[in-house]
Copies of this chain bind each other. A is one copy, B any other.
Amino acid sequence: MKSEQANHIDSTAAGKLIARRKKQLDANDLISKICNGNTTALSRAITLVESTASTHQELAQQILEGCLPHANKSVRIGITGVPGVGKSTFIEALGNHVIKAGKKLAVLAIDPSSSVSHGSILGDKTRMEQLSTNPQAFIRPSAAGDSLGGVARKTREAIMLCEAAGYDVIFIETVGVGQSETAVHAMTDFFLLLKLAGAGDELQGIKRGIMEMADCIVINKADGENINAAKHAKNAFAKAMHLYPPKASGWQPKTKLCSALNKEGIDEIWELIESYFEQVKTSGYFEENRKNQNTYWLKSSIENALKDRFYNSAEIQEALQKQLIAINSGETTPFLAAQFLLDLNTTKD
């Protein structure tokens, strides 16, 4: 009986060992394939990164650690604009231009509000017909998820995997109406805002603060009868951007016209982006900014976890609502209420 049990334990332990070794073999296999530019392996690794299953997460982290030494070598470009501004046509036009210049291009998207926008962003690869069939391009639909923190993490990790797979240029697309623009700004080197002429309706959707983040504002659909209005809009934005305080990068944000449909202005925009990278790589800002971004992601990951731990308690949630009512009726101050809730949390521990 005893030896039977021992045997059983032995075989379980052996099974676990075999499973662990198999997992490491799987990880090593995927890592070497990714580093050889195998897109099937890359897709599978991103799917593992996006999975919430703990076995998948474990494997994903092994793959990431293996890929890290090969990552960090691309230029990362954030592209934002409200629906209707022509983002897919623009990305297709700029993407094909980049590929013709001899680069490998990955297009990712971040869209935590996909339930609101009905997954319109990159949900359908056929939006970029040419790019999606080009072997030098890798297009990945948006990572799904409820929390911005979670989606941002998945996108950041997908960027690293794409870099390990040898993609030189990475576009990160966002819809410009949600909470994700700050996240995209904090994971890219260059931030491009797409706009239309006629500063009316299409402005309603864009979030405050995004204009000041932009390194370049591109007025799209500058064609046909629209061309004068587009020129007018370009001048207006150029003047507005000159009123902004200077950027830490030392870069003066630019405004450009383009017709993504007619592929006009695309080459100039890419030249502009290249001159940006030349400037910030020479000045050292490129490296400095990436380090600052790493610190930002480290700290925001920690702080989101601390907040989640605190607010996830039902007792705190209930007490918080009561304290808010007391503050709004002038019975306490936000600072006293915060102290009360923090003490409640400490007592609970």
Contact surface of A with B, Cβ cutoff 8 Å: 61, 64-65, 68-69, 71-72, 153, 156-157, 160, 199, 203-212, 236-237, 239-240, 242-247, 291, 294-295, 297-298, 301-303, 305-307, 310, 320, 323-324, 327-328, 330-339, 341-342, 349
Lowest 5 A-B CB distances belong to which pairs?
A301-B338, A297-B334, A240-B240, A298-B334, A306-B306
The answer to whether A68 and B295 touch (CB under 8 A), given A211-B243, A245-B208, A246-B203, is no
- Give the interface centre of A68, A243, A246 by most chain B CB atoms within 10 Å: A243
Closest to A341 in B: B302
Chain B residues contacting A341 (CB-CB under 8 Å) are 298, 302
Chain B residues contacting A310 (CB-CB under 8 Å) are 302, 306
A242-B232 Cα distance, complex, nearest whole Å: 14
The binding surface of chain A is classed by DSSP as helix
Chain B residues contacting A298 (CB-CB under 8 Å) are 320, 323-324, 327, 334, 337-338, 341
Question: Cβ of A324 and Cβ of B239 under 8 Å apart?
Answer: no
A64-B336 Cα distance, complex, nearest whole Å: 10
A231-B36 Cα distance, complex, nearest whole Å: 62
Question: Cβ of B243 and Cβ of A333 under 8 Å apart?
Answer: no
Question: Cβ of B204 and Cβ of A245 under 8 Å apart?
Answer: yes
Question: Cβ of B291 and Cβ of A242 under 8 Å apart?
Answer: no
